[in-house]
């Protein structure tokens, strides 16, 4: 399997990009890797890169986007940070990826049993981590269906907060990046949320 060229990237629609990710995760879950020569892909990308997707995910060691979507070198821009939180540097990276390089889809990928979400639910404060976890607080405030045990030990509460956090992140991308919002309105890109299950390897798209 070859890496994407400028031509193949340009011919993709956002819907086709989503399908590629879905099919890649299906291969991953079934332990059926696509046949790739990674050293060949090094050569194919030495003069440039034409990735089709931008994925914001957590630093969790179980959530490598290239692996769980069975993609190779030059296929995706992978942005990883604890709790898949958003800041202006990440937004700038997304704007570069979509407007300049031409990726067709932005995926905000949360995952089950996320330590950052658990830490935020427990109101952990520790050095610079405090500032990061504070960015998850809006999702905690918005989750109002669970009245008791609103902490990291309550799996149902953590799951609901994780889902809300993904949705709020997507809303922020649209609100805080006019560039990306315009690309989405034009149909040039799609922004989608997804959840990775660390027990099964399955990605569920919203």
Residues in the chain: 206
- The reported pTM is 0.95
For residue 84, give both structure tokens: 């898949």
Q: What is the mean pLDDT of residues 46-58?
A: 94
Tell me: the pLDDT tens digits for 146-179? 999 999 999 999 999 999 999 999 999 999 999 9
- Tell me, yes or no, whether 67 lies in a domain: yes
- Tell me, yes or no, whether 1 lies in a domain: no
Provide the 8-state DSSP code for 48. Answer: -
Higher pLDDT, 39 or 100: 100
Domain span at residue 18 reads 6-205
- Tell me, yes or no, whether 152 lies in a domain: yes
* Number of domains into which the chain is organized: 1
For residue 92, what pLDDT is reported? 98
Instruction: Give dist(CA 178, CA 91) in Å, integer.
Output: 10
Map tokens 């976890």 to a residue: 133
For residue 83, give both structure tokens: 């709790």
Instruction: Give dist(CA 121, CA 132) in Å, integer.
Output: 13
- Tell me, yes or no, whether 72 lies in a domain: yes
CA angle 185/186/191 to nearest 5° reads 55
- Tell me, yes or no, whether 103 lies in a domain: yes
- Tell me, yes or no, whether 157 lies in a domain: yes
Greatest pairwise CA separation for the chain in angstroms? 56
Q: Please name which of 122, 123, 163, 164 lies closest in space to residue 142, comparing C-alpha atoms.
A: 164
For residue 85, give both structure tokens: 């939180």
- Tell me, yes or no, whether 112 lies in a domain: yes
Domain of 13, CATH number, reads 3.40.1050.10
Tell me: the pLDDT tens digits for 58-114? 999 999 999 999 999 999 999 999 999 999 999 999 999 999 999 999 999 999 999
Instruction: Give dist(CA 46, CA 34) in Å, integer.
Output: 21
- Tell me, yes or no, whether 42 lies in a domain: yes
* H or E element, residue 57: strand 53-57
The number of angstroms, rounded, from the C-alpha of 47 to the middle of its chain's C-alpha atoms is 26
């Amino acid at each position: 399997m070859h890496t994407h060229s400028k031509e193949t990237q340009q011919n993709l629609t956002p819907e086709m990009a989503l399908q590629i990710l879905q099919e890649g995760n299906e291969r991953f879950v079934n332990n059926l890797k696509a046949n790739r020569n990674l050293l060949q892909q090094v050569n194919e990308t030495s003069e440039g890169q034409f990735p089709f997707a931008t994925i914001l995910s957590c630093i969790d060691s179980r959530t490598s986007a290239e692996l769980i979507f069975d993609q190779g070198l030059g296929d995706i821009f992978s942005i990883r940070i604890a709790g898949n939180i958003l800041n202006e540097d990440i937004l700038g990276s997304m704007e570069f990826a979509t407007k300049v390089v031409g990726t067709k889809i932005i995926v905000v990928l949360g995952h089950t049993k996320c330590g950052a979400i658990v830490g935020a639910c427990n109101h952990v404060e520790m050095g610079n981590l405090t500032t990061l976890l504070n960015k998850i607080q809006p999702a905690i405030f918005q989750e109002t269906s669970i009245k008791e045990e609103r902490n990291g030990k309550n799996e149902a509460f953590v799951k609901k907060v994780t889902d809300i956090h993904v949705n709020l992140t997507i809303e922020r991308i649209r609100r805080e990046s006019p560039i990306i919002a315009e690309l989405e309105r034009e149909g040039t890109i799609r922004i989608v949320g997804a959840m990775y299950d660390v027990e099964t390897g399955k990605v569920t798209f919203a």
